[in-house]
Amino acid sequence: MKIHAEEAEATEIISRSGAELIEDGWTILTHCNTGPLATSGYGTALGIIIMAQQQGKNIEVFVDETRPLLQGARLTTWELKKASVKSTLITDSMAGYFINRGKINCIITGADRIAANGDAANKIGTYTLAVLAHENGIPFYIAAPTTTIDPDIKTGKEIPIEERGAEEVTHIREVSIAPEGISVANPAFDVTPHRYITAIITEKGIIRPPYTRAIRAIV
Cis peptide before 68 (omega within 30 of 0): yes
Model confidence band, residue 40 (pLDDT cutoffs 50, 70, 90)? confident
Percentage of the chain modeled with pLDDT above 90:
93
**DSSP-derived pairing of the beta strands 120-123 and 189-192:** antiparallel
Residue 64 CB neighbours (<10 A): 28
Mean pLDDT over 69-78 rounds to 98
Per residue in 6-34, pLDDT (tens digit) is 788 889 999 999 999 999 999 999 999 99
Residue 2 has pLDDT above 90, yes or no: no
- Parse the chain into domains and list their residue ranges: 2-218
Residue 3 has pLDDT above 80, yes or no: no
pLDDT at position 7: 80
Question: Which 3 state secondary structure label does DSSP give 178?
Answer: coil
- Is 24 an annotated catalytic residue? no
pLDDT at position 5: 79
pLDDT at position 46: 98
pLDDT at position 4: 72
Question: Which 3 state secondary structure label does DSSP give 43?
Answer: coil
Annotated catalytic residue, options 112, 119, 150, 190? 112
Q: Regarding the domain delimited by 2-218, which CATH topology (the fold level of the hierarchy) does it fall under?
A: Rossmann fold (3.40.50)
Per residue in 140-182, pLDDT (tens digit) is 999 999 999 999 999 999 999 999 999 999 999 899 999 999 9
